[in-house]
Structure 1
Amino acid sequence: MHPLAQELIDAYGGLERWRRFDTLSAHLVQGGALWGLKGQAGVLDDTNVTVHLKEEWASHSPFGAEGRRSIFTPGRVALLAADGTTEAELAAPRDSFAGHQLDTPWNELQLAYFAGCAMWTYLTLPFLLAAPGVETEAAGEWQERGETWRRLHVRFPAAIATHSTEQTLYVGADSLLRRHDYDVEIAGNTPGAHYMTDHVEVEGIRFPTRRRIFPRQPDGSALDAPLVVSIDLDDIRLG
């Protein structure tokens, strides 16, 4: 592991403390242009997410109607009714995005895959950097918002379902995350710049609670508009 990856993990509470927990849940309020563009406006505007910390698993509830929930794993997504019965499911869900571009609509199972994959990645970083097969290396400094940020290039193994194999983290002088770059492979490799602020501490672990995602240009700069996705978190719990 690169020393900057270790610095990040230590700043967020340390791997030893993180490994004491099995699950993480949070209340989400979400917005931005993406949901309407994909034909899924309103489904996950106000919801709760739970992720497993020792395997790649996530669930959003409610998923649309009250009591309805999703189940995400890399190999399967499903939608469950309030009584627990399976309404719909899809094996090998990532394959269903073949040929998709940014404006290609999603069905509900594809939305469940994207939301589960995204939130599992976001909520397990930076501790995910210590997972088997994850490679990290320095990527130089970056000037933005009157600060100098150190960049960490991350390469994920095929076993981890995430936005893209290659991603970049930006680290402030306080050793906290400022920005997270990736290309959303399942949406035509659309480049995003994901900003994180307003950290809180829960059980000795730090979490950014305000997330804003904007388009990223070829030179690495981010556009001020449109706001692609907004995510505000509260009621974060570790179990």
Structure 2
Amino acid sequence: MDALARKIIYAHGGLDRWKTFNTLTAHLRQGGVLWPLKGYGGKLDETNVTVGLGREWASHSPFGPEGKVSRFEPGRVEIRDATGKIVDELDKPRASFAGHTLETPWTEPQLAYFAGIAMWTYLNMPFLLAAPGVVCRSVGAWKEKGETWQKLEVTFPPDIATHSTVQTLYVDDAGLLKRHDYDVEIAGNTPGAHYIGGYVEVQGLRFPTKRRIYPRQPDGTSLAEPLVVSIDLSDIRLA
């Protein structure tokens, strides 16, 4: 494994500790222009998410004010009502985004897919760096906000559903995440700069609680607006 990847994993509590848990649950407060742009303003403003650690799945509850519950896996999305009955479903969900741009509205299962891949990726990072088939490469330094961060290029294998095949992490001297870049392939390869902070320690592991995502320009700098997505996490629990 790349030496910088090892440093990042160690700074967040270490792989051995991570492997003692199977799931992570957190409370989310979310905002930003993406949700209304896709036709779902307010739907996931306040919810809870549970993700698998290692095995890729995620569930949002409630999934909207009606008390629905979503279940995302790379090959299938299900939405159930408050009684547990399936009310919507989508097989091979990634293929359904073919031809989409940033402005293309989503169906509810597509929303569940996006929210699923996003939160599974974010909450499994940086331990995903040690997953089979993931390739990491240090790509030098980056200066921003009066600091110097180290950059790690991460290439994901086809069996991991995430925003884009190639992503970039930026970390401080302690190995903590400061920024995470990717192109949202299912929204016309829209480039994002995802800022990370507000670390807390939970059950021996370190997690950021504040995430802010802005447009990324071709030179790697980010725009100050619009705020595409905001995510604030609380009540993080591992089991």
- TM-score range normalised by the length of the shorter chain: over 0.9
- In the aligned structure 1, how far is the partner of 2:101 from the partner of 2:54? 32
1:5 corresponding residue in structure 2: 5
1:186 corresponding residue in structure 2: 186
Q: Equivalent residue of 1:236, what SS? A: strand
TM-score, with structure 1 as normaliser: 0.99
- In the aligned structure 1, how far is the partner of 2:226 from the partner of 2:90? 31
- In the aligned structure 1, how far is the partner of 2:227 from the partner of 2:141? 25
Post-superposition Cα deviations, 1:30-87, rounded to whole Å, max 9, x if no partner, equal 0000001001111100000000113100000000134311000000001011111100
1:167 corresponding residue in structure 2: 167
1:46 corresponding residue in structure 2: 46
1:222 corresponding residue in structure 2: 222
1:131 maps onto 2:131 in alignment: yes
Within a 5 Å distance, the mapping from 1:10-159 to structure 2 comes to 10-159=10-159
Q: Is the 8 A contact 2:168 2:182 kept in 1?
A: yes
2:91 maps to amino acid: A
- In the aligned structure 1, how far is the partner of 2:65 from the partner of 2:222? 35
CA RMSD of aligned residues (A): 0.6
- How many residues are aligned here? 239
User: Gaps spanning 5+ residues in structure 1: where?
Assistant: none
Q: Equivalent residue of 2:178, what SS? A: strand
- In the aligned structure 2, how far is the partner of 1:205 from the partner of 1:32? 28
1:135 maps to amino acid: V
Question: Sequence identity of aligned pairs in percent?
Answer: 67
User: Gaps spanning 5+ residues in structure 2: where?
Assistant: none
Q: Is the 8 A contact 2:54 2:124 kept in 1?
A: no
The structural deviation recorded for 1:208 is: 0.4
- In the aligned structure 2, how far is the partner of 1:142 from the partner of 1:29? 30
2:222 maps to amino acid: A
- In the aligned structure 2, how far is the partner of 1:192 from the partner of 1:139? 18
- In the aligned structure 2, how far is the partner of 1:139 from the partner of 1:33? 31
Post-superposition Cα deviations, 1:72-105, rounded to whole Å, max 9, x if no partner, equal 0000001011111100100000000000000000
2:210 corresponding residue in structure 1: 210
- In the aligned structure 2, how far is the partner of 1:174 from the partner of 1:66? 43
1:74 maps to amino acid: P
- In the aligned structure 1, how far is the partner of 2:67 from the partner of 2:41? 18
The structural deviation recorded for 1:173 is: 1.1
Identify the range of structure 1 (7-16 vs 61-70) with the bigger mean alpha-carbon deviation: 61-70
Q: Equivalent residue of 1:9, what SS? A: helix
TM-score, with structure 2 as normaliser: 0.99
- In the aligned structure 1, how far is the partner of 2:188 from the partner of 2:67? 32
Post-superposition Cα deviations, 1:149-203, rounded to whole Å, max 9, x if no partner, equal 0000000000000000000000101210000000000000000000001000000
